[in-house]
Amino acid sequence: MGHEGQPWESAVTRRSLIVRAVSGGVALTALGACGGGGAATTKTDAPPLKTRKGGMLRIGVSGGGAQDTLDAHKGTTDADYARITQLYDRLAEYDRDNKLRLALAEELTPSKGATSWTVRLRDGVTFHDGKPLTADDVIYSLQRITDPKDPKNAAASLTLVDLKGMRKLDDRTVRIPMTGPMVDFPDQMTRLTAAIVPRGYDPKHPIGTGPFKFESISPGQQSVFTKNPSYWRDGGAHVDGVTIINFADDTARVDALLGGQVEAITNLPAAQISAIAANRALQVLNSKTGAWQPFTMRVDKAPFDDVRVRQAFRLIVDRPQMVKQVLSGNGTVGNDLYARNDPAYASDLPQRAQDLAQAKSLLAKAGHAGLTVELVTAPVFQGAVEGAQVFAQQAKGAGVDVKIRKLDSATFYGPNYLKWAFSQDFWYSNYYLVQAAQATMPGAAYNETHWSDPRWTKLVQEARGEIDDARRKELLHEAQQIEYDQGGYIVWSFSNQIDATSAKVTGFETSANGIPLTDYGFRGVQFVA
């Protein structure tokens, strides 16, 4: 799911900076403001507009329902992430170029070999109730995320953290030991659900350090947030508040923008781009990203417990046709591997192409000629349902009958989520180790394919502790080869993130992260005067 992601010098990769810090014992420190974004917007840049402070910003987001949450550590849907981002901050985050930068942390310093990390917090940061952010809050947050009786979404990312060994060195400094080397600790702390909350945190009355404070929520309908006047970042929020409105239906969301009921919407259907771009009162925000929307095959459940069936289904897909038809060309062909922005991405593996004859042969050898399967889908991202329909048509060429079961987003992410044998999902841009911790490692919160391969797991675990760039890349390349050959994902594309805004507001920019509306960065938006 859209589950999740400062500025460093642009010529240096995130991971190499971490490794340099590990090797040389140098602290990772925050530099200047964010750099440029991913792709140009659909409309050309205009001269700076006159703006005004204040106003209530209304945002239409896709999905959400009765299970909507404000819990900093339990977000699941697009709407959850939109709310979480307004209320909370993390130790580190991704900038719009998908590069790591520090947030609440002023320094992240590894020990030699990355067997521990020392976190130095920024001075002067306060929670919404006025209490200062301290090292105790960092310790509490990590303990809450990894509570064995109630593990939260990011728990699997932090399995190497020695929770009992964490030590407060002073009010702004905490030392976090690991049970093994962990070079990717800063990366793991960028997760949207790895936010820092105050001791005694109550998600029913949420308090964070974010740019907006909680006002009210009506699950499945809308949530309201007001400006945090004491926000720690320079300038704070420009608007007085934000109302986030849920829309389960694409048409209703677009109509709300057209009718002036909202100033911006997430996940504009690709088929609507031309119409919105032609409307002078509206703007399209089109970002090239590393986000991906896979078909998911459970490797532990028939018929997908046979690797030949998984290989056949990957050969069924006509990827260029999918990108053209489902995304209207607003995407890049995928190759059944995630994390394309990672320097270790295995870009040299052969591009998989449609081969219906080979798919038929593999299915026959597996005893599944004339196979019928159910594909569970929901409008969880732009083009999801359309993608299911196109796949079903393509599968006929291999003699496979795909029965589509369409659900609403709330039901899709309900109690049966992660149980579907054949389904879909959506993910924002992540580096390989971060994505693996979320979705493919044993115990991962979102192991939707139920992937479990001992050799692959050993390689990833070794890579997490490898401080040498070249050696870590070798390990991850071998791991990707295994997923490429045997995995349960069909990664058919990396899609552009397409949103739309009213011309009455400015400040939204493109982002390579795949998170809608400038990574839900509503604090930077202003109304045009």
Average pLDDT over residues 259-282: 94
Q: How many residues does the chain have?
A: 529
Quick one: DSSP state of residue 54? -
Residue 22 has pLDDT above 50, yes or no: no
Q: Which residue, chain included where needed, has tokens 């924002």? A: 428
pLDDT tens digits, one per residue of 168-184: 999 999 999 999 889 99
For the beta carbon of residue 144, count every other beta carbon within 10 angstroms.
18
Position 32 scores a pLDDT of 29
Quick one: DSSP state of residue 399? T
Position 382 scores a pLDDT of 76
Question: CA-based angle 149:154:159, to the nearest 5?
Answer: 70
Residue 60 β-bridge partners = 245, 265
Secondary structure class of 155 (helix, strand, coil): helix
Confidence class for position 362, pLDDT limits 50, 70, 90: very high
Confidence class for position 25, pLDDT limits 50, 70, 90: very low
30 vs 516, more confident? 516
Q: What is d(CA 99, CA 225) in angstroms, rounded to the nearest whole number?
A: 28
Residue 46 has pLDDT above 70, yes or no: no
Position 271 scores a pLDDT of 85
Phi then psi for residue 527, to 5 deg, are: -80, 140
Q: Are strands 56-62 and 264-265 parallel, antiparallel or unpaired?
A: parallel
- Angular region, 236: left φ>0, alpha ψ -120 to 50, beta rest: left
Residue 232 has pLDDT above 70, yes or no: yes
| Residue whose C-alpha is closest to residue 434's, from 156, 44, 80, 101 | 156
Residue 489 is encoded by which pair of tokens? 């994902």
Secondary structure class of 375 (helix, strand, coil): strand
Is residue 240 exposed (0-12), middle (13-18) or buried (19+ Cβ within 10 Å)? middle
pLDDT tens digits, one per residue of 204-217: 999 999 999 999 99
Residue 31 has pLDDT above 50, yes or no: no
**Residue 372 is inside which H or E element, if any?**
strand 372-377
Residue 499 has pLDDT above 50, yes or no: yes
Cβ atoms of residues 10 and 97 within 8 Å: yes
Q: What is d(CA 15, CA 129) in angstroms, rounded to the nearest whole number?
A: 36
Residue 37 has pLDDT above 60, yes or no: no
Q: Which residue, chain included where needed, has tokens 């303990």? A: 143
pLDDT tens digits, one per residue of 110-138: 998 899 999 999 999 999 999 999 999 99
463 vs 36, more confident? 463
Q: What is d(CA 230, CA 237) in angstroms, rounded to the nearest whole number?
A: 10
Percent of the chain at pLDDT > 90 equals 78
Residue 276 β-bridge partners = none
Residue 375 is encoded by which pair of tokens? 């594909």
Cβ atoms of residues 511 and 39 within 8 Å: no
Cβ atoms of residues 55 and 264 within 8 Å: no
Quick one: DSSP state of residue 161? B
| Residue whose C-alpha is closest to residue 104's, from 85, 119, 94 | 119
Residue 232's alpha-carbon distances to 122, 132, 235, in angstroms, are 9, 11, 9
pLDDT tens digits, one per residue of 69-104: 999 999 988 899 999 999 999 999 999 988 899 999
Q: What is d(CA 174, CA 483) in angstroms, rounded to the nearest whole number?
A: 37
Phi then psi for residue 244, to 5 deg, are: -100, 120
Position 29 scores a pLDDT of 43
Detail the DSSP E strand segments found in 153-272: 167-170, 173-177, 212-218, 222-227, 241-247, 264-265
Q: What is d(CA 124, CA 128) in angstroms, rounded to the nearest whole number?
A: 13
Averaged confidence pLDDT in the chain: 90
Per-residue exposure over 85-111, b if at least 16 CB sit within 10 Å of its own CB, e if not: bbbbbbbbbbbbbbbbbbbbbbbbbbe
Q: What is d(CA 108, CA 3) in angstroms, rounded to the nearest whole number?
A: 24
Confidence class for position 30, pLDDT limits 50, 70, 90: very low
| Residue whose C-alpha is closest to residue 488's, from 319, 338, 364 | 338
Position 2 scores a pLDDT of 54
Question: CA-based angle 202:73:245, to the nearest 5?
Answer: 85
Residue 59 has pLDDT above 70, yes or no: yes
